Amino acid sequence: MIKYLFLIGITLAGCQQNNENAKEEAQSSPPGYVIQEGKKIAVNDANPENLVFWDRYIQAHNERDLETISAMNNDSITIYTYDGNKTVGTAAHLENLNMWFDTSNPKWNTYFSYTMKIEGQKGAWVISGHEMTETVEGESIKHYDITDAYIEDQKVKAFWVYQRK
């Protein structure tokens, strides 16, 4: 019986040590990471000004302000949408937006945003969730989008849109 109590005690002590090691490791870790080419790269909180910038960008979309959108875009902006399309350049982006505004009257309602900085990258990221409402042939359609936007030198250089209906 004493032998079993001894084994239980050692097991519990080992579990406690593992929990303490995990806590110490978590405290010294960055808030996140990405894996690139099999290597783990630290991700940290970025400048909250990126959130203000992204909110202005979305507001410009809601207001159909193509001039502001153009000014906030990097000339070679690249956009990847949930349906597999890729748009390159501000002119193509504005052309697509103009058609979309006319046919679907999209409205963005942001429900979260977070800015992060990946170690070794010049710019920063804004990950943002939007409830999207479109009006197609008089019918209101809602879906939810997540956008990963890469911002460099106060310009939107690229973004990826993921959608859930």
Q: What is the pLDDT of residues 40-53, one digit of tens each?
A: 999 999 999 999 99
Reading the block at residue 3, the tokens are 């032998």
Amino acid 158: pLDDT: 98
Distance of CA 151 to the CA centre of its chain: 11
Residue entry with tokens 């052309």: 95
Instruction: Report whether 54 contacts 129 (CB < 8 A).
Output: no
157: phi then psi, degrees, rounded to nearest 5: -95, -35
Could you say which residues of the chain have pLDDT below 70?
Answer: 1-28
Identify the pLDDT of residue 1: 53
The pLDDT value recorded for residue 162 is: 97
